[in-house]
Amino acid sequence: MEVKTSLLDNMIGVGDMVLLEPLSEESFILNLKKRFDHSEIYTYIGSVVISINPYRSLPIYTPDKVEEYRNRNFYELSPHIYALADEAYRSLRDQDKDQCILITGESGAGKTEASKLVMSYVAAVCGKGHEVNKVKEQLLQSNPVLEAFGNAKTVRNDNSSRFGKYMDIEFDFKGDPLGGVISNYLLEKSRVVKQPRGERNFHIFYQLLSGASDEMLRKLKLDRNFSNYNYLSLDSAVVNGLDDTANFRTVRNAMQVVGFMEDEVQSVMELVAAVLKLGNIEFKPESRQTGTEESRIKDKNDLKEMCEVLGIEQLVLERAFSYRTVEARLDKVSTNLNVSQAYYARDALAKNLYSRLFTWLVTRINESIQAQTKARHKVMGVLDIYGFEIFEDNSFEQFIINYCNEKLQQLFIELTLREEQEEYIREGIEWTNIDYFNNAVICDLIENNQNGILAMLDEECLRPGSVTDETFLDKLNTICAEHQHFESRLSKNSKFLTDHSLPHNCFRIQHYAGKVLYHVEGFVDKNNDLLYRDLSQAMYKANHSLVKQLFPEGNPAKVNLKRPPTAGSQFKASVGTLMKNLHTKNPNYIRCIKPNDKKASHIFTESLVCHQVRYLGLMENVRVRRAGYAFRQPYEPCLERYKMLCKRTWPHWRGPAREGVEVLLSDLQVSAEEFAYGRTKIFIRNPRTLFFLEERRRDCLQDLAALIQKIYRGWKCRRQFLLMKKSQIVVAAWYRRYAQQKKYQRIKSATTVVQSYTRGWQARKLLKELKYQKRCEEAVTTIAAFWHGTQARRELKRLKEEARRKHAIAVIWAYWQGLKVRREYRKFFRANAGKKIYDFTIQRIIQKYFLDLKKNMPSMSPIDKNWPARPYQFLDGVHKELRKIFHVWRCKKYRDQFTEEKKLVYEEKLEASKLFKDKKALYPSSVSQPFKGDYLEISRNPKYQKLTGAVDEKVLLADMVNKINRANGKGTARIFLLTKKNFVLADQKNGQVKASVPLPDLISVSVSTQNDGFFALRLKEGSASAVKGDFLLSSERLIEIITKLHRISATAADRERLNIDISDEFLVQFKQDKVCVKFIPAAPKNGNSASCKRKNNRLLEVLVPTSP
């Protein structure tokens, strides 16, 4: 169930100033202080939100807070900026009413943060989706860009907006953002060239120097030292809490999100660097022959670097700083600039360059964030602009800022009164006119087209002749002297005899927020805001595309002699457009207040707050809201809140809500003059009546709370009793069960004991009977055994006696037979005994020989030459034959293990042995290396795909060789391919075939006897392959290559066997000449490889290193 809350619940002080009683400026300030001390920084004046800057982070902007205020009534929860943002967004989405949120206050009051909070809340509660999120991100990321270029550190605020910003956020019919349009007002461009003490220039200058990479600074011709730039103040260059390096990265990322191209970002940074360089240009006086003084640039290095960055011809810009050309119809006059005029021209160029860059940035952001669809959009405007300013020294900027605030105050009063009147008419309540201060007369004093201050300032600027700030003040004294809100030393309202606070060069205006003293010094120059045409034309001639866009008036083809509009007239037109725009929207107000000048938390300076309350017109706002009925509320929530005060409406009212409210107020005997019944709302005139109802409600709530506690405690005690009763029954049941179980266990245990004793007695009785029976049986058995033993012993004795007799007879017979045999054998032994003994001895020796041979048998390796020693000489033939038979059998067993491929390899090895053994010194090192054939894996390597296609047959050998050049003896790497019909030489890098020779054209191969890899392939004379002569090649696998060539020629039936010539000196045919190749042993140099050198046209020497 949702809990109903209200603005009046748990209220600290008074949440809505309309309900403040008694109403006075002192009570107003004390209420704000009380709420501020309890971290309640938001307070209402009706639908207006007062926001006090806490100068610290508060946990009231979390996602949970967003959900808490989402889709809730404005007065349903405690005051919060989210309530106003939600009310505006829901009115726009559900009622199709365009909205505007006006945020005002002085510097440091938190206007910028308030606008961010409004935009972040709207972004959080509107729809989701890829495109929607992209638009929201672009709208939010436009703030860091504008803050970097438009904000600066001041004595009042470390991130003070030095321009006014109005953003129209466009939504579709669902309430999802489509885009936005930003308008900027009155950038404080004078800050570019001069900053008050304790303040900084715009953030972007410090961010660029701190956060840019060394490479970027080198391109922009800048360094990180702030002191090298005259336009940067040094006393406040570093600000606690501001990380310029991190902020620069944030700005770069934000520009990328918004849609800036990389070259556009670079162009913007180049213009910022150009402004810094401009500040370093200094001038010196130089006298001419005519006696006049002209200016010259002291050090042209900064001017040169600036011109290189912007692509401007240095001489053109240098002349523009020294001369000024004035054109009038067909006449053109050029005059020299003195030093002060040159400095004025430099600063004017810097200010114009930066202000136009800022305007271009706003336009470029609008191009990225504007809605793409042409359909009608719902619009929510957010205005973040200077508040009313009253300084010790007020100049032209404060004058037009206060003029804008006068217009906003006029709009605020008109719209507030109109809203009140519309609500009264809508509810059917009689409207009575409200007395209030109408500041239209002040606005007319400033903006009147004929006698207004701005009109007279423009007229004075356009007037020929000597024009100064003093002549402008004289004009004001002449025309405005009778005006009741204008004062000067010469006006009738000044009382100058006693008022010494009004200097001669000042005038004072009675604004709605109080009197403001303006110094006229600089009014004319700041209103003129002139930039010499020579400088505009010089900037237009730049090769920098962005600079050309910023100075279109410098185009010589489009010379316009018409004077540009003044700053005052431009601002007046902008304010007029803004007022028309705001008149078409439903307004929502946020009034920002700064609690202290120290930018510290928990400090509330009453005098400072009182000053802001006055010039914000908050008391006037409260009085307008309270002029009729101070409080109004729909009937349903009113009845829901106060129904417990009447027995007839409590606890439920069954009829219409209005009738219930009438019954309620009648029962409470509230005076009829204190309220009025509208169509949907009850209107209460005096806050005391509302506080009376709230007090009665609190008392009733205490009684209701006591009743609820009583009923709850009774219900809780009964519930506890029933629970204990139920628990007692359960416990008793469990106990009885437990007791019966224990009793059963005791009976069962006793029964078991009795049974065990009975069974034991029966078992012992049976055991006794069985033992007696067994003893009887054992006695009979023993007697029988003794009797049988006696009989057996008697029979054994008889048998033994009989056996002794028979054995004696057998022994006697055996001896007799032996005697007879020995007598006969003696006759036979004497004739054949020697031969029998010899044969037996020989048989035993051979048997022992074979057994020993079996034990000492050598291994099964064919190359194992071990064989047991011969034991007797007469076995020499047998021993050799057995060794030969064993070796043949062992070789057969070894050959049976070979595959066909392995047999082929061994056949090649055997062939190589026949060809090179004891003939070539390189042969022994090749014996242990198997013949692999395809060393390049040519069929699987994609690098040689082209070469594979050129060879149709199976490749028997693929390896890298060096082809020896006859001219210098140096080798060139070639791919050597061998098939059954051809051998091919190809380029190592691209696989292109260099030579393909049929094997029948190969007649012989020549090699040396030494340890080298050189060999010559001799070709048949007159064949097509022999046109360029023989091939002299070098390879580490010489033995394998020549062996495979020899085997192919041996197996071919159509050609002769290949001749292998092994000699340390042989001839090689190169085209028409024969060259002798001679191999000479030499000491090792640069490794152990052989090297070939050309000695003359007929001799190539190969130096073969020999091992020491």
Known catalytic residues are 107-108, 112, 157, 160-161, 387, 389
∠ CA 538-543-549, nearest 5°, is 75
Tokens 């029988």 sit on residue: 784
Contacts of 996 (CB under 8 A, 6+ apart): 982, 983, 984, 985
875 DSSP 8-state letter = G
1013 DSSP 8-state letter = -
Q: Which helix (H) or strand (E) holds 16?
A: none
Whether the ω angle into residue 22 lies within 30 degrees of 0, i.e. cis, is: yes
Beta bridge partners of 681: 634
What are phi and psi for residue 1081, nearest 5 degrees?
-65, 140
The secondary structure of 496-547, three-state, reads: CCCCCCCCCCEEEEEECCEEEEEECCCHHHHHHCCCCHHHHHHHHCCCCHHH
8 Å CB contact between 110 and 49 = no
Burial-class residue 384 by CB neighbours within 10 Å (0-12, 13-18, 19+). Answer: buried
Q: Cα(713)–Cα(347) distance, rounded to whole angstroms?
A: 82
8 Å CB contact between 993 and 950 = yes
Beta bridge partners of 383: 102, 166
**If DSSP codes are grouped into helix, strand and coil, which group holds residue 703?**
helix
Tokens 């191999």 sit on residue: 1079
Tokens 């046209």 sit on residue: 1097
∠ CA 527-484-492, nearest 5°, is 90
Tokens 């000492």 sit on residue: 856
Q: Cα(213)–Cα(235) distance, rounded to whole angstroms?
A: 25
Q: Which helix (H) or strand (E) holds 808?
A: helix 687-855
∠ CA 80-82-84, nearest 5°, is 85
Report the amino acid identity of residue 421. Q
In whole angstroms, how far apart are CA 707 and each of 12, 714, 718? Answer: 27, 11, 17
∠ CA 142-145-150, nearest 5°, is 115
In whole angstroms, how far apart are CA 627 and each of 29, 432, 440, 588? Answer: 20, 9, 20, 20
In the chain the first and final C-alpha atoms are separated, in Å, by 105
Whether the ω angle into residue 196 lies within 30 degrees of 0, i.e. cis, is: no
Tokens 């005059």 sit on residue: 335
Residues in the chain: 1108
In whole angstroms, how far apart are CA 862 and each of 386, 887, 893? Answer: 108, 7, 9
Contacts of 880 (CB under 8 A, 6+ apart): none
Burial-class residue 66 by CB neighbours within 10 Å (0-12, 13-18, 19+). Answer: middle
Residue 869 half-sphere exposure toward CB, CA atoms < 13 A = 2
Residue 712 half-sphere exposure toward CB, CA atoms < 13 A = 6
Q: Cα(678)–Cα(684) distance, rounded to whole angstroms?
A: 11
Q: Cα(65)–Cα(976) distance, rounded to whole angstroms?
A: 82
Contacts of 606 (CB under 8 A, 6+ apart): 29, 33
**If DSSP codes are grouped into helix, strand and coil, which group holds residue 967?**
coil
